[in-house]
Structure 1
Amino acid sequence: MKRLLCLTICVAVLITLCGCGLVADTSELLKTPQLTGEMYAVEKALKENVSGAYTLEYPSLGEKRSAIVLEDLDGDGTKEAIAFYSQADKEEKQMHLSFLVKNSGKYETASDFPITAAGVEKIECCDFNGDGTKEIAAGFEVYGNNEKTLVVFKLQSGRPAELMRAEYTNFLCNDILSNGKNQLIIQKLSQKSMTNTAVVYALSGKSFSKFTSCSLDGNATSVNRMVFAPLSNGKPAIYLDEIKGVGAITEVLLISGGKLVNSLGQQSNGTSKNIRTAGIPFYDIDGDGVLEIPIPADDPSATENGVNHINWYSFDGKSLEMKESAFVNVVDGYSIVLPPELYGKIKVTKNSEERKRRVFYKGDDNSEKELFSIAVIPDGAESKSENGEVLATKNGESFVIDIKDEGQKAGLGKGKIKKMFKFNDF
């Protein structure tokens, strides 16, 4: 009895101690991680200069996602600091871009620029005139994606001076002209006026000048991505994925004859040849460094059954070359890639409720024979052995194949189907 009493007391003490740990102040867990190293030194200098409370602001896009960006802008071996923060007054939120330099091993604020905006979208540090000093291009969200302001600064006597301020939808800093200097490419979409343009600006002296421009699809309603990447022939280009109606299109801009041209824009009838489901973006499907463009296959059965039969093409600025043909399941995140010998001979149907795709072979006599099916089954939902073999697993779900007799006769075993199956990485 004494042993039982002692054991009970010990358990009670342990539970009490554990309980104390569990009910500790959770605010400690919610604190932003403390900055260290040079970041800490920059924030310390910021605190000394800013009057009143402030909040660090983080860019939502781009490679530089920190509220404090360290960059050697002038190439002297010492990094300057660009910090984004906001302060709220009674009427509106005020954003700030603070520029800090290092003197005698200590950061100090050199300039502070107030900007009326709700957040920071992106920052780029680019040398626009080839003088070895990088300019600062910072994009700010004024009213979400509907109104954004780009501000470009140039270092003068060690301090930034504003060079340019412009409205934008997207911007890039790249050498689209292939002249060894970066250019500023601004894309601006206006649903109100149904205009969509891209302009290339070049920095000459202390100001930017418009070098060339072109029109894009004015019926687009938003832009998902704007990327600088090579064409299949290695020449530089700008790829844009845009939402148009309930679908998406890709436009490709390049320099031809010294002018910016929309080389994969609308057809003569005002439509786009690559309009497709919005969830399928341009993507490097084969890992060769060249983006492929998704274009719906000429497949009436795919349209009839509500599935996405996509042909992926590389583009050299003039012609398209097909690299892959696949049935893309956007909802469940996988594709069935067709081997060349099956091009034009496969039909796929879907059962959204069962999350199943059935694959049929289309004969020359219009006959259809089911080869296999793929179903997505959450782990623990039901016995997978009753539904076929597990092909792959991801995020607590199994992708199960059921190979039919006709599939076996056609040589479509699990190994071959596994080569045809791949998860969508986009």
Structure 2
Amino acid sequence: MKKRGGIRTAALALALSLSLSGCFFRGADELYAVPQPPKDYEALKVRLSEVIAAGGEYAAPLSGELIQTVQLQDLDGDGQKEAIAFFRFSSDEKPLKIYIFRQVGEEYEVLTVIEGAGTAINCVDYVQMDDEPYKEIVVSWQMSEQVHSLAAYSIGPGEVEELLRTDYNSYKLYDLDQDNQQELVVFRTPTDGPPQAELYDFHGVLGKTDTAPLSGGITAVADGGVQAGYLMDWVPALFAVSTYGGNGTITDIFTCRDGKLENITLDPDMGESRETVQFYTQVTGTDINNDGIMELPQPTPLVDYKITTATPNFWLIHWRQFDAQGEAHPVFTTYHNDRDGWYFILPETLGNNLTLARSDLPGGGERAVTFSYWEGDEAVEPKPFLTIYKLTGTNRVSRASLPGRFVLFPAEGLAGANDANTIYAAEFRDGWDCGLTEDEVRERFAIIKTDWLGNS
């Protein structure tokens, strides 16, 4: 199907800026009543009501960034936005419908309808996959709780062309080859073959152009378990995190060179990305130092002083960047305290000579971790150099003001502590000189972002 240039709409952005953030409604309690919009939207409201009167019910996407029931997108690149609405007709053979409306004069009309089978629309994306001004629509149809079908569509007035359809475990849309167009990478773990990543690109038609293996020891790539980011030298890459070894994860890093998809961390002899295996899964890849390059964690269990347990009490996290050849380069090391919601960048002079100890007060109002220099000799006691406190409760300000303590967060210090439910403070200990000032401790301390945590 040749894409047609007849899509025209009226400007829709102004009215939606009134607290609607690009959508008409969000909450479940609002799914059956469109809010009272400005007069420009009365015609669209009439068309939505007609769909409902014909037996439709709103069926917003279940996941992803776009989960509104009615969405606005400039699908033809003319600077004006079409309205896309999601419905379910329970009695139809293909019950799921995506209505696309355009404005003609003072009226709205249906431009086209995308129909799908399944129980729900899992997620939707609007992306530029070729050099034409039109966006393609990528839809994940939920066939059952465990099975999803991925399809991409090209649209025009009154017609829809399905460009591809495939099953998947996870997928990502990203400009891997830096041609200003989105490529689609689908991750699959079929029962009748090895796990692999599949590259779909637009060359006249949208089709599979290459494949690359995933690590052979994986169980599955989780839906949504793929991150997009940059390697060193600003090479775009996809970071696919899969379950591995029962309770661990492994990360495969994919790049695209000359149209070829490559797993740059895969050891060809072992068939796995052994360099990125981790069994402490509370942290995932992130740009932890805010330089625009993705860092991956390499957790290492920390030896406790005079404590012998089967499970490590503390872990160090070595953060590393990767180059386009799959080689790892260290950035820094942190102690990552997901229990108390903070992390700390360790002094470089410390090396591996560290042990930690908790000393929480009864009642939970003061939780403390003490850092000590220790060379691993059980006969020599560790030398404490820093304690970091998490303080809650009504006496948190007075506890943060005890002699020797200084506030790490909130940033305003004690001046802003009365407005904070939690205060983080620190105190130098005299066992070993870590070489840091109070300001340097503050610079190395940070609150954990909740989306880093594997269980969040």
For normalisation by structure 2, the TM-score amounts to 0.74
| Equivalent position of 1:292 in the other structure | 295
Query: Percent sequence identity over matched residues?
Result: 21
Q: Is the 8 A contact 1:189 1:222 kept in 2?
A: yes
Deviations 1:298-348 (A, max 9, x none): 855599743221111111122222112101112222112112222322222
Please give the secondary structure, in 1, of the residue aligned with 2:234.
coil
| Equivalent position of 1:68 in the other structure | 70
Please give the secondary structure, in 1, of the residue aligned with 2:47.
helix
Please give the secondary structure, in 1, of the residue aligned with 2:131.
coil
Instruction: Report whether the alignment pairs 1:221 with 2:238.
Output: no
Instruction: Report whether the alignment pairs 1:86 with 2:88.
Output: yes
Q: 1:235 to 1:400 in 2, by over 3 A?
A: closer
CA drift of 1:154 comes to 0.8
Q: How does 1:177-256 map to 2 (within 5 A)?
A: 177-190=177-190, 192=191, 195-205=194-204, 207-218=205-216, 219-223=218-222, 224-244=224-244, 245-256=246-257
Q: Distance in 2 between the 1:213 and 1:75 partners? A: 31
Q: Distance in 2 between the 1:130 and 1:341 partners? A: 53
CA drift of 1:186 comes to 1.5
Instruction: Report whether the alignment pairs 1:334 with 2:342.
Output: yes
Q: Distance in 2 between the 1:365 and 1:31 partners? A: 64
Q: How does 1:232-381 map to 2 (within 5 A)?
A: 232-244=232-244, 245-256=246-257, 258-265=259-266, 268-269=269-270, 270=272, 272-274=274-276, 275-297=278-300, 305-318=312-325, 319-350=327-358, 355-363=367-375, 367=380, 368-380=382-394
Q: 1:80 to 1:391 in 2, by over 3 A?
A: closer
CA drift of 1:155 comes to 2.3
Q: Is the 8 A contact 1:309 1:327 kept in 2?
A: yes
Unaligned runs of 5+ in 2: 1-27, 411-416
Q: 1:221 to 1:201 in 2, by over 3 A?
A: closer
Q: Is the 8 A contact 1:228 1:239 kept in 2?
A: yes
Q: How does 1:94-133 map to 2 (within 5 A)?
A: 94-133=95-134
Q: Distance in 1 between the 2:383 and 2:35 partners? A: 62
CA drift of 1:115 comes to 1.9
Deviations 1:58-114 (A, max 9, x none): 33444433222222222334422221122445x999322112222223221233333
| Equivalent position of 1:26 in the other structure | none
Query: Which letter does structure 2 place at the counterpart of 1:331?
Result: R
Q: Is the 8 A contact 1:305 1:349 kept in 2?
A: no
CA drift of 1:136 comes to 1.1
Query: Which letter does structure 2 place at the counterpart of 1:216?
Result: L
Q: Is the 8 A contact 2:236 2:255 kept in 1?
A: yes
Q: 1:93 to 1:422 in 2, by over 3 A?
A: farther
Q: Is the 8 A contact 1:226 1:241 kept in 2?
A: yes
Q: Is the 8 A contact 2:354 2:375 kept in 1?
A: no
Which one of the candidate residues 397, 418, 422 is aligned to 2:442?
A: 418
Q: Is the 8 A contact 2:87 2:96 kept in 1?
A: yes
Q: 1:193 to 1:343 in 2, by over 3 A?
A: farther
Q: 1:139 to 1:337 in 2, by over 3 A?
A: same
CA drift of 1:373 comes to 2.7
Q: Distance in 2 between the 1:195 and 1:332 partners? A: 40
Unaligned runs of 5+ in 1: 1-28
Q: Distance in 2 between the 1:158 and 1:297 partners? A: 58
Structure having the higher strand fraction is: 1
Q: Is the 8 A contact 1:358 1:372 kept in 2?
A: yes
Q: Is the 8 A contact 1:250 1:282 kept in 2?
A: no
Q: Distance in 2 between the 1:271 and 1:183 partners? A: 23
Please give the secondary structure, in 1, of the residue aligned with 2:441.
helix
For the pair shown, the structure with the greater C-alpha radius of gyration is 1
Please give the secondary structure, in 1, of the residue aligned with 2:46.
helix
| Equivalent position of 1:397 in the other structure | 422
RMSD: 3.4
